[in-house]
Amino acid sequence: MDDDDRVFRALADPTRRYLLDRLHERDGRTLTELESALAMTRFGVMKHLKVLEDAGLVVTRRSGREKLHFLNPVPIRLIHDRWIDKYTERFVSALADLKTELEETG
Amino acid sequence: MTTMTQNITNVHQVFIRATAEEIWEAITRPEFTLKYFYGTRVESDLAVGSPFVYRAGDSEELLVEGEVLESDPPRRLSVTWRFLYDPELAAEGPSRVTWEIEPQEGGYCKFTALHEGLGEKSAEQVAGGWPYIVSGLKTLLETGKPLAG
């Protein structure tokens, strides 16, 4: 399995995307904090975090006695850079803005 | 203003197919930062306590200003960081950036850019910037070319 496969596999699961959303909201959380946001056993959450770590989407760092989890968006950026160059990016982001605006007002 | 949280940490990590020395040069020499760090030139003699700044590529304008806290070539560099290009970010006060380079098996290094002590506006700003910079650094070192554009 190459790096991109790991990223796509990790993202192909709603619980793992939910965990990334929580970290995007506030970074640097402990397992206990992440666990409290999910109706799932500690072991289940750990398994999902392991898949996210293997894909490089979550990075852990020690802070005293605590292990903190951080969202690492670089693998997603690398996938983005592979297919979207700087010139097309402007059009893509304009379309994304338009979609957001229409959906919010509509 | 007094209740502002100033303790947000951002972590950006990637594996780069390069030696620790090559990555160290790419972080600390202006001819490299010009190609992946928003066209800026880094300037520092890297001695602890010395200034560490980024200037605009085409002028002497200072964009980021700080000083070297820790320098352990080619493994670890830590600097203070003040945004000068945006008054709102500048008002949030200084933060701290640490680069860690950890050689792995097979000609790779694990590269981590850690940005600590960020205020909310600065955190939002760097969340968009670091992925682009780190991805650009990897591309530059692995292909010899900057990202398209």
Ordered by start, the domain boundaries in chain A are: 3-72, 82-106
Q: Is residue B55 part of a domain?
A: yes
CB contact under 8 Å between A56 and B134, yes or no, is: no
DSSP secondary structure code for residue B70 in this structure: E
CB contact under 8 Å between B138 and A78, yes or no, is: yes
How many other C-beta atoms can be found within 10 angstroms of the C-beta atom of residue B57? Answer: 16
- At residue B118 the predicted structure's pLDDT band, cuts being 50, 70 and 90, is very high
- At residue B18 the predicted structure's pLDDT band, cuts being 50, 70 and 90, is very high
Q: State the CATH class of domain A3-72.
A: mainly alpha
Q: Is residue B2 part of a domain?
A: no
Q: Is residue B148 part of a domain?
A: no
Domain count of the fold of chain B? 1
∠ Cα B8 B77 A79 (to 5°)? 65
Residue of chain A with shortest Cα separation from B148: A85
Rounded CA separation B146/B149 (Å)? 8
A-B contacts (CB, under 8 Å): 52
Alpha-carbon dihedral A76, A82, A85, A90, rounded to 10 degrees: -30
Gyration radius (Cα) of chain B, Å: 15
Nearest to A72 among B8, B13, B149 (CB): B13
What type of residue is A70? F
Structural domain that includes position B58: 8-143
CATH number assigned to the domain comprising residue B126: 3.30.530.20
Q: Is residue B77 part of a domain?
A: yes
- At residue B22 the predicted structure's pLDDT band, cuts being 50, 70 and 90, is very high
Nearest to A70 among B11, B134, B138 (CB): B11
- At residue B3 the predicted structure's pLDDT band, cuts being 50, 70 and 90, is very low
Rounded CA separation B9/B117 (Å)? 6
pLDDT digits (tens, 9 = 90+) for B74-106: 999 999 999 999 999 999 999 999 999 999 999
CB contact under 8 Å between B12 and A85, yes or no, is: no
The pLDDT score that the predictor gives to residue A87 is 62
- At residue A96 the predicted structure's pLDDT band, cuts being 50, 70 and 90, is confident
CB contact under 8 Å between A73 and B12, yes or no, is: yes
Q: What is the pTM of this model?
A: 0.87
